[in-house]
Amino acid sequence: MIQLSYLDYSAVEGKSFLHGLSPKVKLVGMGLVLLAIVTVRSLPGLLLLYVILLGLFLISRISGRIFPLTLYPLIFAMLFIFVSGFQIGFILRIFLKVLCGSTGVVLLLATTPYPSIFRILGKVLPSFFVTALFLTYRSVFILLDVVEETQHALHLRGGLQWRHPWRSLVNISNAFGHLIIKGIDASEKMYESMVLRGFKDRIHYRGE
């Protein structure tokens, strides 16, 4: 989840050709990638799509630290191998679909600041839902700060030790509990400050 900060930094500070493209165009492009993932069945077709996405990843000069995010969904795709009875063609097709999807979305998020994405989504989705999306995304960063603080406290209380599983479980649960309570406190303050700034039911973006 720490890569999230890089993702956000890359979207705002990046200066490549893809960063300069209009968010609308990039969202339409992502839609086309999705359409291709859903409809293309041939291995060479999927491989070509993946190579194109990798090429775009390279020319966008996105930090290599973000790349593992695109591989993460493969962990879960492994389970799908067992459905197929280890058919190599099927497994390759699934893995390529996974990689194309994850590379596409990571590419979108690493080259487009999230307020721009949410602003466009706000035109087609209910404002209530888009506000919830925006607040969640914002809250992830608030909680990441809390996680950083909590890590020190967790370490001082013994942290995670395989030799003491129960203590480790209590420590990790307390850390999550602390995270939730801190998060709820922050959400109450956030609501009060939003109301003071005139929040009614939707967030207005710059330029609206």
Partner 1 sequence: MSHIHFPDGVLPIWLWGSGFIVAILVGLILFRFAKREEWIRHLPLLGMMSAAMILGASVEIVPIAYHINLTVISGILLGPSLIFLATFVVNVILALFGHGGITVIGLNTLTLSIEGVLGYFLFRILWRLTRRLMPAIFLATFLALLCSTLSMIGVVSLGASHYEELIHHEDEKGIFEFKLLKDKVGHPVEGATREKVNLKRFMAIVLPLGLIGWILEGMITSLIGRYIHRMRPDLLRLERGTQ
**Residues between 40 and 99 that touch partner 1 (CB under 8 A):** 40-42, 45, 69-70, 72-73, 75-80, 82-85, 87, 89-90, 93-94, 97-98
Are the C-beta atoms of 7 and 109 separated by less than 8 Å? yes
For 27, 70, 105, the CA distances from 7, given in Å and listed in that order, are: 17, 12, 11
Q: Which residues from 153-182 bind partner 1, rule CB under 8 A?
A: 169-170, 172-174, 176-181
In the list 38, 51, 58, 59, the residue contacting partner 1 (rule: CB under 8 A) is: 38
Smallest gap from Cβ 26 to partner 1, in A, equals 13
DSSP secondary structure string, 99-112? HHHHHHHHHHHHHS
In the list 27, 52, 54, 143, the residue contacting partner 1 (rule: CB under 8 A) is: 143
In the list 149, 153, 187, 204, the residue contacting partner 1 (rule: CB under 8 A) is: 187
Q: Which amino acid is at 2?
A: I
Rounded CA separation 18/189 (Å): 37
* Interacting span for partner 1 (CB under 8 A) from 10-18, 21-29, 54-62, 135-143: 135-143
